[in-house]
Amino acid sequence: MTKKDFDFTKAYEEIEEINEWFQKEEIDLEEALSKYERGMELIEKCKERLKKSKNKFEEIKEKYEASEEEDSS
Amino acid sequence: MDAYSKKFAKKLKPFLDDRVFTVSEFIDFVNGLLKPLKICEVVVKGEIGEDIYINDKKGWAILNLIDEDGARLGCFAASYVIDRMGVDPEPGLEVKVSGYPEVRKNKGRFSFQVNRISLVGEGDLKKQFEILKKRLKEEGYFDPEKKQKISRFPEYIGLITSKGSDAEKDFITHLKNYGFRVLSYPSRVEGETAIDDIVAGIETFNKNFPELEAIVITRGGGSWESLQAFNSQEVVKKVFSSKIPIISGIGHENDLTLLDLVADERVSTPTDAGKFLSETWQEGEKLILESEKSLSVATGRLIRQVEKRFTEHAHFFRRKIERNFRMKEKGLEHLFSSLTDKIKNRINEFYSLEGEVKLHGYKIRNELKNNSEKVEQLNKNLKTSKIRWEKAIKNKLSEEEKKLNLSNPELKLTQGYSITKKKGEILKSVSDLSEGDLIETKLADGVAESRVEKDD
């Protein structure tokens, strides 16, 4: 429950950048196609992340208080 | 209380029988008796008395708590405890002190060791609040530029709230299922003791879970007094020093708590805290779905644009080529027409020459025709003349022949004449003859040779 396996924020920001890029007036077709592919790939990943989205709860106080006491004794 | 004392005394009696303490032993014994109060912590309410002694150098202060009955409790507090109170202690100020009693061994005085002082009474609380707020503001604790940014899509969250409370339920209920991982640190949220829990919670999260993306500190609404933990200087300073961004969600009606001011983000209630965290995810989900469409649309549009541009270019080039062709064609036409003109001119010249030639030919033919008649005439004349001339000439000739025939020497020979030659030369005198010369004499019917015998 520590490291993220997929950085949603990063992917999302890249999608935003791609969207913004497409707002430009002059667009290179080849670049557009590669950006489109990249965008779609990220969108798929984000959708996948949104799918498996049940929240998890864990209570920690006792565990840590106990360990702190052990430390001090 | 009396019953408890009697029971306790019964237990103590065997220990105290025939026992004599030294002073030191006795004070230690009494402090030992007081120890349960130290473990539990006691809160005493009173008014600050006249004599206040603050030793800044050594970092402590002595003050008295008094009440209407004239009772007096000597209190000993470290400077930081006074400092945390947020206002300077003044006589007449109504306060609550929490701590424990003990007998000061060196002074032999009963004293209350103060861990925390806080004001009592709404008026004083407000006053304390305003003073503390002003001071913390001046010290930069509420500076907007010092606030930490919360990740746009936080999923790993620390929660500090009362276990099993409505606040906890509301927060969890409104936290939509976006795969949040919530670490809960149960805490008291009311009264002075809440301060310790909140501070410990922030510390534990920072120490053991530094990868948390936000810590939510939340509780439901309550009276001004009940929210004092969230107005404490300790909580403010701990929140300020937290490396993990902090979201406050304290239910209240009017003024913001100091926690609200120092927090990196603040919302009004536990429900709002859950919604706040879910909202960005909801927006994100929406944008992802929209992006999926808009990217396809944009790409499609782009392809159509390129197609259109391509067609335009094709048209443009075709037009250009056609124009070039037309220009070349025109050039050729010019060339042709000038050539044609030239040829025409030549032909015309030729025709005019031909005309002239024809005209001259006609003249010549006429001339020839005219002249041939003349020639014919001449011919005729010539023929006539010829015949005449032939006759004349014939006549003349026969006349001349006759004349010639008469003068022919050969003819003389027949008449008896002869011709003598010496060495081919005709002899005309005898002087040309010498004795012995051979001479030829031609007669009419032949030649006779003779030799000169005598010369006279």
| Interface residue A51 vs chain B (CB under 8 A) | no
**Based on the domain organization, do B103 and B217 belong to the same domain?**
no
pLDDT the model gives residue A71: 43
pLDDT confidence bin for A73, thresholds 50/70/90: very low
What pLDDT, in 10s, does the model give residues B20-44? 999 999 999 999 999 999 888 899 9
Residue B392 lies in a domain: no
Predicted confidence band of residue A66 (pLDDT cuts 50, 70, 90): very low
Q: Long-range contacts made by residues B412-418, C-beta under 8 angstroms, separation at least 24?
A: B413/B442, B413/B443, B413/B444, B414/B444, B416/B444, B418/B442, B418/B443
Residue B100 lies in a domain: yes
Chain B partners of A19 at a C-beta cutoff of 8 Å?
291, 294-295
Give every CB contact of residue B373 below 8 A, 6+ residues apart in sequence: none
Q: Residue A53 above 80 pLDDT? A: no
- Asked if A55 lies within 8 A of B185 by C-beta distance, the reply is no
**pLDDT recorded at residue A64:** 59
Rounded mean pLDDT, B433-445: 86
Averaged pLDDT, B87-110: 89
Task: pLDDT band for B456, please (50, 70, 90 cuts).
Answer: low
Would you say residue A72 has pLDDT above 50? no
B178 DSSP assignment: S
pLDDT value of residue B253: 64
CATH number at residue B16: 2.40.50.140
Q: What percent of chain B has pLDDT over 90?
A: 34
Domain count, chain B: 3
Last residue of a domain, one of B89, B120, B151: B120
The pLDDT of residue A1 is 42
Q: What pLDDT is recorded for position B193?
A: 77
Q: How far is A37 from chain B (nearest CA, A)?
A: 9
Instruction: State the average pLDDT over residues A38-64.
Output: 83
Which of B63, B94, B120 terminates a domain? The answer is: B120
pLDDT tens string B358-369: 888 888 788 878
Q: B358-367 long-range CB contacts below 8 Å, 24 or more apart?
A: none
My answer on whether B228 and B309 are in the same domain is: yes
Contact indicator for B296, B168 with CB cutoff of 8 Å: no
Domain C-terminal end among B90, B120, B150: B120
The pLDDT of B199-208, averaged and rounded, is 94
Which of A4, A12, A18, A19 is the best mutation test for B, with the most CBs of B within 10 A? A12
**Is there a single domain that holds both residue B136 and residue B283?**
yes
* A64 lies within 8 A of chain B by CB: yes
For residue B383, tell me if it sits in a domain: no
Same domain? For B76 and B197 the reply is: no
Cβ atoms within 10 Å of B167's Cβ, excluding its own? 23
pLDDT band for A70, please (50, 70, 90 cuts): very low
Question: What is each CA distance from A16 to A32, B43, B417, in whole angstroms?
Answer: 14, 56, 165
Q: Which has more confidence, B376 or B166?
A: B166
Q: Are B236 and B141 in contact (CB under 8 A)?
A: yes
Domain-located, residue B172? yes
pTM: 0.59
**Residue B155 and residue B276 in one domain:** yes
Say yes or no to pLDDT of A2 above 70. Answer: no
Residue B111 lies in a domain: yes
Chain A positions touching B302 (Cβ under 8 A) are: 22, 27, 29, 32
First to last CA, chain A: 29
More confident residue, B305 or B138: B138
Is there a single domain that holds both residue B253 and residue B155?
Answer: yes
The answer to whether position B101 is within a domain reads: yes
Is B70's pLDDT higher than 50? yes
Q: What is the pLDDT of residue B207?
A: 94
Mean pLDDT of chain B: 87
User: Do B170 and B315 fall within a single domain?
Assistant: yes
Tell me, what CATH number does B332's domain have? 3.40.50.2300
Q: Using one digit for the tens of pLDDT, what is the confidence trace for B226-246?
A: 888 899 888 999 999 999 999
- Under the banding of pLDDT at 50, 70 and 90, the label for residue B3 is confident
Asked if B157 and B62 sit in the same domain, the reply is no
Please, which pLDDT band fits residue B81 given cuts at 50, 70 and 90?
confident
User: Residues B112-127: what's their mean pLDDT?
Assistant: 83
Cβ partners under 8 Å of residue A52, min gap 6? B179
pLDDT tens-digit readout, A15-50: 999 988 888 877 787 888 888 889 999 999 998 888
* Residue-wise DSSP of B42-110: EEEEEEE-S--EEETTTTEEEEEEE-TT--EEEEEEEHHHHHHHSS---TT-EEEEEEEEEEETTTTEE
Q: Is the pLDDT of residue B354 over 90?
A: no
Do B68 and B158 lie in one domain? The reply is no
pLDDT value of residue A4: 60
Same domain, B152 and B74: no
The predicted structure's pLDDT at residue A67: 47
Answer whether residue B393 is part of any domain: no
In a domain, residue B37? The reply is yes
Same domain, B109 and B145: no
User: A40: distance to nearest CA of chain B, Å?
Assistant: 7
Looking at the structure, tell me whether residues B202 and B275 fall in a common domain.
Answer: yes
Residue window 3-42, chain A: list those with CB within 8 Å of chain B: 3-4, 8-9, 12-13, 15-16, 18-19, 22, 27, 29, 32-33, 36, 39-40
Contact B421, B440 (CB under 8 A): yes
Are β-strands B72-78 and B438-443 bridged in parallel, bridged antiparallel, or unpaired? unpaired
pLDDT at site A68: 47
Does the pLDDT at position B171 exceed 60? Answer: yes
pLDDT per residue over B279-304, tens digit each?
989 988 898 888 888 888 877 877 88
The answer to whether the CB atoms of B183 and A60 lie below 8 A apart is yes
Distance CA B158, CA B217 (A): 9
> Residue B417 sits in which domain range?
410-451
